[in-house]
Amino acid sequence: MKQGWHSGAERPVMEEGLQYHIRCRRGDVNRYVLLPGDPERVDVIAGGWDEARFIANNREHRTWSGALGGVPVTACSTGMGGPSASIALEELAALGADTFIRVGSCGAIQEEVQCGDLVICSGAMRQDGTSPDYVDLSYPAAAHYEVTAALVEACERLEVPYHVGVSCTTASFYCGQARPGLGGYAQSASARKIEDLNRAGVMDFEMEAATILTLSGVYGLRAGAVLAVVAHRLRDSFEYEGIDNSVRAANEAVKILAAWDRAKEAKGRRYWYPGLLMVQ
């Protein structure tokens, strides 16, 4: 499949802007893009659209484009972790995407959060290992307020249980999230990690949000994340629930964002705010 690729090495791109990893070209990718980690979730997301067209499947990146309530939309899986998430974001943005919603799963570290609930990520701790390649660690991995507000509106409309707060993005599922490694291997700081983050009000562990939010911030793009809680680290329980609600919320948020973007354009405003629809 990859034999025969000849291009410059800085940005390996072929005719029609074909991107090396995601294998999408110009015209394949829309402005609004949903980013699940798991490739199988792309098909579930596209199943909720009015129209869906398979685009590409390469490595961990599976892509469909289509339309939802008249809004052109794309879903592309990032795979697990910062490196492949950064590649997906780079190549999608090169094709014109500018608004990203991560549709992920996470492990909760707050008592009031239940398995099956959603967490809307307002920001993320940058333990992803990838985002420091782009900007100093003092730069915040903040979700764009419009994407966060659209996800809140979506969860309210759908009447699904949700929380809003900060996630901790790690570069590993086991030791980075204070799980024992092979044979119980652990570093001493691991023993206090969950307690310390819980005390700081951090909602959950996951593995891509900080990369997506940081790169989007640096590039002037919009991004947010909605995460289904599939593990509870304080209760040591794992229940793979809530993915369907995260998908529904993300799809609804795309329609909401598109409506707000149309309103901004019609009223000549750069930023959305709650009273915008009342402006004459």
179 annotated active-site: yes
Q: Is 207 in the site for ligand R1P (CB under 6 A)?
A: yes
The pattern of x and - marking residues 186 through 225 that bind ligand URA according to CB under 6 A reads -------------------xxx------------------
80 binds, options ligand URA, ligand R1P, none, Cβ within 5 to 8 A by partner type? ligand R1P
- CA dihedral angle for residue 43, residue 45, residue 47, residue 50, rounded to 10 degrees: -130
Name 126's bridge partners: 169
Closest approach of ligand R1P to the CB of residue 149, in Å: 22
What letter represents residue 64's amino acid? Answer: W
Exactly one of 61, 233, 248, 252 is catalytic; name it.
233
Pick the binder of ligand R1P from 23, 29, 37, 154 (CB under 6 A): 37
66 binds, options ligand R1P, ligand URA, none, Cβ within 5 to 8 A by partner type? none
Q: Is 131 in the site for ligand R1P (CB under 6 A)?
A: no
Closest approach of ligand URA to the CB of residue 22, in Å: 22
177 binds, options ligand URA, ligand R1P, none, Cβ within 5 to 8 A by partner type? ligand URA
Closest approach of ligand R1P to the CB of residue 127, in Å: 12
248 annotated active-site: no
| Residue range at the interface with ligand R1P (CB under 6 A); choices 31-39, 59-67, 182-190, 272-280 | 31-39
Do the beta carbons of residue 207 and residue 141 sit within 8 Å?
Answer: no
CA proximity to 82, closest of 109, 104, 57, 108? 104
Residue 80: Cβ-neighbour burial (10 angstroms; 0-12, 13-18, 19+): middle
Closer residue to ligand URA, CB minimum distance, 52 or 168: 168
CA distances from 177 to 18, 47, 158 (A): 36, 32, 31
| Residue range at the interface with ligand R1P (CB under 6 A); choices 11-19, 48-56, 116-124, 201-209 | 201-209
Residue nearest ligand URA, CB atom distance = 107
Instruction: Label residue 81 left, alpha or beta by phi (over 0 means left) and psi (-120 to 50 means alpha).
Output: left
Pick the binder of ligand R1P from 44, 67, 80, 171 (CB under 6 A): 80
- Beta-carbon contacts of 141 under 8 Å, excluding residues fewer than 6 positions away, are 123, 124, 125, 126, 131, 169, 209, 210, 211, 213, 214, 217
Sign, Cα dihedral of 113, 231, 154, 123: positive
Instruction: Label residue 43 left, alpha or beta by phi (over 0 means left) and psi (-120 to 50 means alpha).
Output: alpha
Number of residues that bind ligand R1P (CB under 6 A): 10
- The C-alpha atoms of residue 76 and residue 95 are separated, in whole angstroms, by 13
- The C-alpha atoms of residue 14 and residue 253 are separated, in whole angstroms, by 33
CA proximity to 48, closest of 278, 244, 262? 244
Closest approach of ligand R1P to the CB of residue 206, in Å: 4
Could you list the residues that contact ligand URA (CB under 6 A)? 105-107, 173, 177, 205-207, 230-231
Could you list the residues that contact ligand R1P (CB under 6 A)? 36-38, 80, 104-105, 173, 206-208
